[in-house]
Amino acid sequence: MPRLRPGSLLISQPYLGDPNFERTVVLLCSHSEEEGSFGLVLNRPATLQLGDVLELPGGNVLPAARIPLSIGGPVQPDTLHYLHQVPELPQAESLGQGVYWGGEFTHLLDHLLAGNISPELVRLYVGYSGWTAGQLAEEVRENVWIVHPNAAGKVFTLDTDAFWQSILREKGGRYRVLSNYPTDPRLN
């Protein structure tokens, strides 16, 4: 079994059957066999922007207000989480390959609003994906997830709409074949 660690991608099997995770790619942000795991779904865009969920000084005319939100997972959908490429953000945790998770949000927001940080360097998520102690390891053993280690950099390089398919194709071999698996095999 591949080792689970922050910065790995969890790619759902095509026949998963869980609508929360069907054809998703999750970035593993934290993992502990004793405490559980935390991740963010990377390819579930929401219909919201930052200005829709936060009252921002200057209203919704600033570029920061138009940062799109994605659905990070089904747990606590009223929470906001973020990935970014801002290494100097206080308390941010490195996931590798220049990608960071969290940090002081007010610091990030102030710099986004002032135009000191480009909105292109930030990804925002409502909710998250969570697993209890040992649950994720068991799901990996049961082939629910394909683990792609040390791949956090993909967050900012692949198109959200085709992320699942693209990452499987990139892995090659038998995964390339899975990338073409139909959404509903009964329709073949």
Contact in structure between 77 and 71 (CB atoms under 8 Å): yes
Give the tens place of pLDDT for each residue, 91-139: 999 999 999 999 999 999 999 999 999 999 999 999 999 999 999 999 9
pLDDT(187) > 70: no
User: What is the percent of the chain with per-residue pLDDT over 90, rounded to a whole number?
Assistant: 76
Q: What is the model's pLDDT at position 15?
A: 81
Q: Determine the average pLDDT of the residues in 39-62.
A: 91
Question: Is 188's pLDDT higher than 80?
Answer: no
| Identity of residue 58 | G
Give how far Cα 78 sits from Cα of 32, 54, 83, 100, 127, Å. 24, 12, 17, 21, 6
Measure the CA–CA gap between 86 and 159, rounded to whole angstroms.
20
* Amino acid sitting at position 174: R
* pTM of the complete model beyond 0.85: yes
> Tokens 């930030």 label which residue?
122
- pLDDT category at 161 given cuts 50, 70, 90 is confident
As a whole number of angstroms, the distance between CA 125 and CA 83 comes to 8
Residues 54-83 pLDDT 10s: 998 877 788 899 999 999 999 999 999 999
**Cβ–Cβ < 8 Å for 47, 15:** no
Residue 4 and residue 136 in contact, taking contact as beta carbons nearer than 8 Å:
yes
Average pLDDT value over all residues in the chain: 92
Predicted confidence (pLDDT) at residue 41 exceeds the cutoff of 80:
yes
Q: Which of 110, 15, 21 is nearest to 57 (CA)?
A: 110
Domains parsed from the chain with CATH numbers = 9-182 (3.40.1740.10)
> In the prediction, which pLDDT does 21 show?
94
- The confidence band for 183, taking pLDDT boundaries of 50, 70 and 90, is low
Q: What is the pLDDT of residue 186?
A: 55
Cα end-to-end distance, the chain, whole Å = 32
